[in-house]
Amino acid sequence: MNALPTTPAAILETIRSQVVEATAIDDEWVFLTPAPELVGKLPPASTAFAAVVPEGVRFPESPQHRQICPADVQFQVCLFSRVAVDRAFDGRKLLIDPSRGLLSLAHKVILKLAGSSLETPQGQRTRQPIQCLGIDALRWAEGANLVLAYAVVRFSAEILYNLEE
């Protein structure tokens, strides 16, 4: 498929805005970060937040043109949810609550991104539809009166890497 030349940074910022739209999490609580642990160490005051984390850029064919070359941008969308444990713990809030449950948020992100080509009025930004590679283990940490959990959804997006930008 024809795709507009772009950069991994532009794709990741577009993905971040798509996560905001899919989850209805406030824009200020969806981060672009090199590691999800950076967000989890000092969680924001929001009950649900997210992070787009780049995993790498791979070149299925070595760069053979000075202007553009095919590239595979791999990234994670980490979805965080937290609950206070000052009362009886209810794991359903962390997992299946419609507005902040990890599985509910992951479902919304998959529906938004998987199969998308990130179309713009000028054309599509990926060479093929974005592939969802799966939901990885749910992770959690416990503080004095807080349980913080997150799920990792992995994706791959094939782009034409604009080497001149």
- For the chain, the domains span 5-162
pLDDT for 40 equals: 67
pLDDT for 54 equals: 97
The token duo for 104 is 């509910």
In terms of pLDDT, which residue wins out, 44 or 74? Answer: 74
pLDDT for 112 equals: 97
Q: Are 71 and 158 in contact (CB under 8 A)?
A: yes
Backbone angles phi, psi at 87, to 5 degrees: -140, -175
The number of beta carbons lying within 10 Å of the beta carbon of residue 37 is 14
Distance CA 156, CA 37 (A): 21
- Output the pTM of the full model: 0.90
pLDDT for 129 equals: 95
pLDDT for 63 equals: 65
Residue range 97-127, pLDDT digits in tens: 898 889 999 999 999 999 999 988 888 999 9
Q: Beta strand 5-6 with 123-124: parallel, antiparallel or unpaired?
A: unpaired
Q: What CATH code would you report for 5-162?
A: 3.30.2000
Residue range 11-69, pLDDT digits in tens: 999 999 999 999 999 999 999 999 888 886 666 677 889 999 999 999 887 766 778 88
